Amino acid sequence: MHKPIIFMLRAGVMLMLFVCFPGALMAESEPLPQLVLPVPADEHHRTYLGLQESGDGATFEVVEIDADILLIELFSMYCPYCQAEAPLVNELYELMQALSGSEPKVKIIGIGASNSDFEVDHFGKTYDVEFPLFSDQDMAIYNALAGAGTPGFVGARRDAAGGFSIVLRQSGGFYSAADFLKELIAAGAN
Amino acid sequence: MKVMIYKAGLAACFCCILALGWATPGLTAQKHYSSLVYDTGRLQPVDSELQVQVGDIAPDFELPAISGKAVRLSTFRGHKNVVISFVPAAWTPVCSDQWPGYGISRPLFDQYNATLLGISVDNVPTLHAWVQQMGNIWFEVLSDFWPHGEVASRYGVLRGDGTAERALIFIDHQGRISGLIVSDINVRPPLESIVKELEKLN
């Protein structure tokens, strides 16, 4: 007797959620697209990502990255906002590195949207970026992630099937690396 | 005449613009940026004909800079290589994230004893506001506003609608043009193409 009413109520709540927060429903189960990247030539980057392959033209899938939570930064060398954000993102990386063993393993990579290898390398050197950066000159990765401007962030957590599921999307920067990391970990725990 | 025209797809048209509602609900740490850039849509790639070529003495000019100086090209002759970056117009896509890239590239120019002059057909107050918004622009930004686009016209990079091409002119310390890059106006020339031309200057 009450079932139709309960169904209607649930449907109404879901509709409101979708209208007010378009990301709310998809964030629950949206898988991270399959992304293939070149194995970094830098040994430290390979170690950070947990990759065994050499950097000689080999590729890897993002799902292979040794992380419980993965944050992907979308940036451009030319973007003044990304330039301004770079020190904060470096601070975020340092905070990730400082997490204790009892906390989730959180890692970050950067994707240089529309940037060449040279431009990504120049950005990394200019801002002393220690985490791996990858060029995305044809914006295939940016588009696969449904990017919406730079800087932007896509956070994903390891799911039961061994893949990554998207738990966070953010266009724009953040004010506090510590607060952003807390939110990322909280999103990954939900 | 060596002219490089870069053509690429949508990828290179990408510019950094932000950030209207692409966020997981509940995020409190988010910093929004707003864009003041006017979307021109896709434009005819090139709409002018170069009036200079590699080997020519670069036509001299004096233009007002937003720094308050009047900058004359020939004053660099004998001691400094010069790169001129013509951009179509202030507050437009691609341009608004081209010069910020050069803003973090000064060491590349210094390495080749080169200075950069940015030129647009906008007036000084407009350029001042635009550069303030972009920030971190270390080079002189010159206004080719009046007589409108006269310098761009002498180099053959003034388009039919009164804007300039997205063009780079490389001039050695003797004042001679060593390289020319006229890009598709919709795309940004890759940074390594500039370095390649700078290498020729030494």
The string of pLDDT tens digits covering residues B22-80 is 666 656 667 776 678 888 888 999 999 999 999 999 999 999 999 999 999 999 999 99
Cβ neighbours of residue B125 closer than 8 Å, sequence gap 6 or more: none
Q: Which residue has the tokens 């001679």?
A: B176
Q: How far apart are CA B133 and CA A5, in angstroms?
A: 54
- pLDDT of B5 > 70? The answer is no
Amino acid at A30: E
Task: Compare CB distances from A114 to B12, B30, B136 and report the shortest one's residue.
Answer: B12
User: Is A179 strand, coil or helix?
Assistant: helix
Q: Which residue has the tokens 């709310």?
A: A24
Smallest CA-to-CA distance from B103 within B67, B140, B75, B68 is with B140
Alpha-carbon radius of gyration of chain A? 18
Map out the domains of chain A as residue ranges. Answer: 25-189
Fold type of domain A25-189: Glutaredoxin (3.40.30)
Tell me the pLDDT tens digit for each residue of A108-127: 999 999 999 999 999 999 99
Q: Tell the burial category of A91 from Cβ atoms under 10 Å away from its Cβ (0-12, 13-18, 19+).
A: middle
Q: Which residues of B touch A116 (CB under 8 A)?
A: 190-192
Which positions 30-59 of A are in contact with B (Cβ < 8 Å)? none
Q: Which residue has the tokens 């390891």?
A: A158
Strands B140-143 and B114-120 turn out to be parallel
Inter-chain residue contact B24 with A83, CB threshold 8 Å: no
The first and second tokens of residue A150, run together, are 């730079």
Inter-chain residue contact A118 with B192, CB threshold 8 Å: yes
User: Is A50 strand, coil or helix?
Assistant: coil
Inter-chain residue contact B100 with A175, CB threshold 8 Å: no
Task: Compare CB distances from A175 to B29, B97, B104 and report the shortest one's residue.
Answer: B29
Q: Which residue has the tokens 């906008």?
A: B122
Band (B170; pLDDT cuts 50, 70, 90): very high
At A5, give phi and psi (nearest 5°). Answer: -70, -45
Quickly count: other Cβ atoms within 10 Å of residue A6's Cβ.
Answer: 9
- Chain B residues within 8 Å of chain A (Cβ atoms): 9-33, 97-98, 100-101, 103-105, 108, 134-136, 188, 190-192, 195
Q: How far apart are CA A89 and CA B28, in angstroms?
A: 17
Q: E strand or H helix at A45, and its extent?
A: helix A43-49
Tell me the pLDDT tens digit for each residue of A12-32: 444 444 444 444 334 457 999
Q: CA of A123 to nearest chain B CA: how many angstroms apart?
A: 8
Q: CA of A52 to nearest chain B CA: how many angstroms apart?
A: 31
The predicted pLDDT at position A120 comes to: 98
CB of A183 within 8 A of CB of B27?
yes
Q: Which residues of A touch B188 (CB under 8 A)?
A: 78, 114
Instruction: Please state which of the ranges A93-97, A110-114, A130-134, B15-19 shows the lowest mean pLDDT.
Output: B15-19
**ipTM of this complex:** 0.85
